[in-house]
Amino acid sequence: MTQKLYYENQYIKDFTANVVSCEKSEKGYEVILDKTAFYPEGGGQPGDTGFIGGAEVTDTVEKGEEVVHICVSEVGGEVGCSIDADRRFAFMQQHTGEHIFMGFIHKMSGAENVGFHMGESGVTVDLSEFVTAEQLDEAEKLANEAIYKNLPVKAVYPSSDELENYDYRSKKEIQGQVRLIDIEGVDLCACCGTHVAFTGEVGIIKIVSSMKYKKGVRLTLQIGRRAFEDYAAKHKNVHSISVALKAKPEEVSEAVDRIAAQLYEERSRYSALKKEMLALKTADYSGRECCVFDDGGSADDARILSDMLAEKVEIAAVFSGDDENGYKYAVTSRNEDVREIGKKMNAVLGARGGGKPEMIQGSVAAKKAEIEAFWKENI
Ligand SMILES: [Zn+2]
């Protein structure tokens, strides 16, 4: 049975141990030490990484009573070991933060955390019951107040008799010795993970998203160092937006609303002008057919313009685009079946498209001169 240093002192990052066994497996080398500070994956907390001797440890898992380190190369004898302490401390902050936050949510609503995940970029929590936005705000506020109070975070190991007197949260039925994490007045929860010694070390707890999930709510929290990194990244973003919009950082939201409203107005004006312009363009056309080029126009422009032209001529073709990027076309007629024209364009010009008897649409990579020549010869 591996001696679990992480339960004796969760802050140990460097230690010396003896290799008990080192066996090759498909994941690498599975190394068991006589004692370890590497926390094995469990209770929603990922396994530690680091080094054993010169060998990188990519993961740590528990197998029965043993802690198994997944190493990239072989090790033996007495080895110096070090865990990735920054990564582990971030998990300790996140884990403790989850206890504090859930303690208040649980008291408030009776909701349990039924899906807990600590990732490299944040913590997700699935609540078993629905809680309101106001309750979330209140729990977040109380959780941060508990951080400021710098309360001790204790691990207690009650006997099975004593356990009956405790009212504690638990994520699952536990066999054998129960380990309770006690934050007085805040939370009491059965947990096998690693935690900070005082709530102050958690730093900050912030809900960054919440959505309805099954019967309850799925939350994403930023806690501790991750919360700081999240704040720094968001601050940078707001600063860039503030500079771009020439607005104070605290007023960027109003500035974006203003710009969106302006854009909507401009777009409406633009489409009105476009319609007027198209009406002018179509004013002079008459006769059996026409082939019009709308430089730089879009597929929509081609469709609208050809539809307007079809009021004036029997067969109206519009090619929007340019020689370099090709053309989007629309051919419209009120009385004739234009699908034959589409087939010819596909065959002769290598166009792609088709449609209904009264309108065909598509694209063609040919040059303006080629299209005009085709039209003259065939239509
Ligand atoms: Zn925990």
Cα-to-centroid distance, 229 and ligand 1 (Å) = 22
312 Cβ contact partners less than 8 Å away, ≥ 6 residues apart: 282, 285, 286, 290
Tell me: pLDDT of 5 over 90: yes
Q: Which residues contact 307 (CB under 8 A, 6 or more apart)?
A: 316, 330, 332, 359
Q: Is the pTM of this model over 0.85?
A: no
What is the layout of strands, in order, in the sheet containing 113-118? 113-118, 123-127, 216-223, 205-213
Q: How far is the CA of 66 from the centre of ligand 1 (A)?
A: 20
With cut-offs at 50, 70 and 90, classify the pLDDT of residue 154: very high
Instruction: Measure the CA–CA gap between 314 and 282, rounded to whole angstroms.
Output: 13
Count, in order, helices (H) and strands (E) of the chain. 9, 20
Q: Look at residue 276 in the predicted model and tell me its pLDDT.
A: 87
* Cα 2 to averaged position of ligand 1 atoms, centre (Å): 21
CA of 51 to the centre of ligand 1 (A): 25
Tokens representing 319? Answer: 């090619």
Residue 120: the pLDDT is: 67
Band (175; pLDDT cuts 50, 70, 90): low
CA of 194 to the centre of ligand 1 (A): 6
Could you give the 3-state DSSP secondary structure of residue 145?
helix
* Spacing, Cα 193 to ligand 1 middle (Å): 5
Is it the case that residue 75 has pLDDT exceeding 80?
yes
Q: What is the pLDDT of residue 173?
A: 63
Residue found under tokens 């990519």: 58
Arithmetic mean of pLDDT over the chain? 93
275 has pLDDT over 90:
no
Distance (angstroms) between ligand 1 centre and the Cα of 191 equals 5
Six-digit token string for 104: 């208040």
Under a CB-based contact definition with an 8 Å cutoff, are residues 375 and 293 in contact?
no
Sorting pLDDT into bands at 50, 70 and 90, what band is 43?
confident
* pLDDT at residue 218, rounded to an integer: 96
